[in-house]
Copies of this chain bind each other. A is one copy, B any other.
Amino acid sequence: METLVVVGGVAAGLSAASAAKRLKKKELHAVVFERSGYISYGACSEPYFVAGLVPEPDDLVEITPEEFARKREIPTHRMHEVLDADYESGQVTVLDLADGRRFNEHFDYLMLATGSVGRRLDVPGEELAGVHALRTVEDAIAVRDSARAADDVAICGGGYIGLEMAEAFVAMGKRVVILKKTDQMLLNFDPEVSRLVEDEVRAKGVDVRTGVDVLALEGRGRVEKVVTSEGDVKAESVLVAKGGVPNTTLARHLGVDLGATGAIAVDRRQKTNLDRVYAGGDCAEAYHIVSGRPAYIPLGTTANKTGRVAGQNIGGLRTEFPGIVGTAVSKIFDLQVARTGLSLKEATDIGLEARSSTIQQGSRSSHYPGGSPITVHLVTEAGTRRLLGAQMVGREGVAHRIDVLATALHAAMTAEDIYHLDLAYAPPYAPVWDPILIAANKARKA
């Protein structure tokens, strides 16, 4: 019997273990090591746990270790950190964080699902109590407890997590300030779209400060204030939400190659440069179908998919992951905020000659009550008018409309193709000319 060692017990790791075991059954022993105290947790739901919508930490968990062992016949070890790995001898060194015991485990196959780590502020005082990142379930509990005890909460960072957490803290009745180094929130959106989100966040009472350098965190034992280039900001709880970087420590020890993005380079079968060593999820690159090059866009969807493909290949099935187009959606207060493909800046940065155009259109027929405006921003290639990316903001009807444009990216459609799509119409759900068609009509002439 061969052994598959999986490092990381969340989306990619468990998907890989499940897929491989399902295919090889009695021929494969799969074992999962997870550094935190929880496996199979939905990190994307953590803001809703902090806000109280998801009542208990266990409600964040998809499948428990007991169920996973019983249904999939795969043991999982929580609070177990894989410290090192040796490719030649096929051994990983594991530390049981609960009792300090170290042991070796042999592997025939290794799945790296080590995820990402939060980018740090790298300022004095970052180790103070009350200063948090939000990655694990333990983090989520700590953030909730810390915010409960605080009057003022500061968020360093203006990405999805920062903004989703702003909503959670406001729901808890806290005074919330967002400190953002750049002039723009949601940097993977173009300014005409991110500005609408910023307006919404401000309108909900959040003190948004852009162009602010965080210089230090200060307090006696616990954080009491954030020292910034624009003065001190009172905060008894601080969330550092500056995005993640791939956790590649173990990969580098093993001799696994990283790509230009700094994440683990993999082929379409999720294999690294080393035979029998696979990677997926937030520690790995994924091929970007629009740009035609590897990208680092860590998302839960991609983690599940790339984990499954890795597991299928470990299990002997030759499957391929065709790649991503970078689709994401976030609920930010009452807005649905979504994107797919490349922003104008991202397209231009990789040398594409691109254009963008923006429209606003009602979410429902003008005859039907209760509609609200949807903003659609399309990025197209000059000349061909091929769609390169799309961004959308609105109070309803955005979260799935973006998937139409994601599908159009997979099919390499032009603005003209999109203008001719036969989309559904009913007064409660859309105007007869859907916002997507209005946007495509403008983009095909832009």
| Distance in angstroms between the alpha carbons of A76 and B427 in the assembled complex | 25
Cross-chain contact A423 with B406 (CB below 8 angstroms): yes
Cross-chain contact A424 with B338 (CB below 8 angstroms): yes
| Distance in angstroms between the alpha carbons of A397 and B329 in the assembled complex | 14
Interface residue? A304 (CB, 8 A): yes
Cross-chain contact B53 with A424 (CB below 8 angstroms): no
Cross-chain contact A425 with B45 (CB below 8 angstroms): no
| Distance in angstroms between the alpha carbons of A124 and B362 in the assembled complex | 45
Q: A62-B366, A411-B411 are known contacts. Are A403 and B424 too (CB-CB below 8 A)? A: yes
Closest to A427 in B: B45
Cross-chain contact B329 with A422 (CB below 8 angstroms): no
Interface residue? A404 (CB, 8 A): yes
Interface residue? A373 (CB, 8 A): no
Other-chain residue from B45, B330, B336, B420 in contact with A368 (beta carbon distance below 8 A):
B45
| Distance in angstroms between the alpha carbons of A404 and B403 in the assembled complex | 6
Residues of B within 8 A of A408 (CB): 407, 411
Among the stretches A18-26, A103-111, A244-252, A429-437, the one at the interface with B is A429-437
Cross-chain contact B407 with A421 (CB below 8 angstroms): yes
Interface residue? A345 (CB, 8 A): no
Interface residue? A426 (CB, 8 A): yes
Cross-chain contact B368 with A432 (CB below 8 angstroms): no
- Of listed A406, A411, A424, residue having the most chain B CB within 10 A: A424
| Distance in angstroms between the alpha carbons of A304 and B441 in the assembled complex | 14
- Binary interface profile of A, 47-90, with partner B (CB < 8 Å = 1, else 0)? 01000011000011010000000000000000000000000000
| Distance in angstroms between the alpha carbons of A300 and B321 in the assembled complex | 39
**What's the least CB distance linking A365 to chain B, in Å?**
6
**What's the least CB distance linking A223 to chain B, in Å?**
29
**What's the least CB distance linking A308 to chain B, in Å?**
10
Residues of B within 8 A of A399 (CB): 397, 400, 424, 426, 428-430
Interface residue? A211 (CB, 8 A): no
- Binary interface profile of A, 395-413, with partner B (CB < 8 Å = 1, else 0)? 0010111111011101101
Cross-chain contact B330 with A426 (CB below 8 angstroms): yes
Cross-chain contact B367 with A425 (CB below 8 angstroms): no
Interface residue? A417 (CB, 8 A): yes
On chain A, the number of residues with a Cβ less than 8 Å from chain B's Cβ atoms is 65
Closest to A309 in B: B420
Cross-chain contact B301 with A429 (CB below 8 angstroms): no
Interface residue? A340 (CB, 8 A): yes
Cross-chain contact A422 with B400 (CB below 8 angstroms): no
**What's the least CB distance linking A369 to chain B, in Å?**
6
**What's the least CB distance linking A59 to chain B, in Å?**
6
Other-chain residue from B324, B328, B331 in contact with A428 (beta carbon distance below 8 A):
B331
Q: A404-B403, A407-B408 are known contacts. Are A422 and B45 too (CB-CB below 8 A)? A: no
Cross-chain contact A331 with B426 (CB below 8 angstroms): yes
| Distance in angstroms between the alpha carbons of A434 and B327 in the assembled complex | 13
Interface residue? A322 (CB, 8 A): yes
| Distance in angstroms between the alpha carbons of A305 and B402 in the assembled complex | 22
Cross-chain contact A304 with B367 (CB below 8 angstroms): no
Interface residue? A5 (CB, 8 A): no
| Distance in angstroms between the alpha carbons of A53 and B369 in the assembled complex | 7
Interface residue? A11 (CB, 8 A): yes
Residues of B within 8 A of A368 (CB): 45, 48, 53-54
Interface residue? A159 (CB, 8 A): no
Cross-chain contact A423 with B403 (CB below 8 angstroms): yes
Closest to A341 in B: B422
Other-chain residue from B59, B336, B436 in contact with A367 (beta carbon distance below 8 A):
B59
Residues of B within 8 A of A329 (CB): 424-426, 429-430
Interface residue? A379 (CB, 8 A): no
Q: A300-B432, A368-B48 are known contacts. Are A324 and B400 too (CB-CB below 8 A)? A: no
**What's the least CB distance linking A12 to chain B, in Å?**
12
Interface residue? A299 (CB, 8 A): yes
10 A-B pairs (CB sep. < 8 Å): A42-B427, A42-B432, A45-B427, A321-B420, A327-B423, A397-B399, A399-B430, A403-B424, A407-B421, A410-B420
5 new A-B contacts at CB < 8 Å, known A301-B433, A327-B424, A408-B411: A325-B422, A330-B426, A397-B400, A403-B421, A411-B411
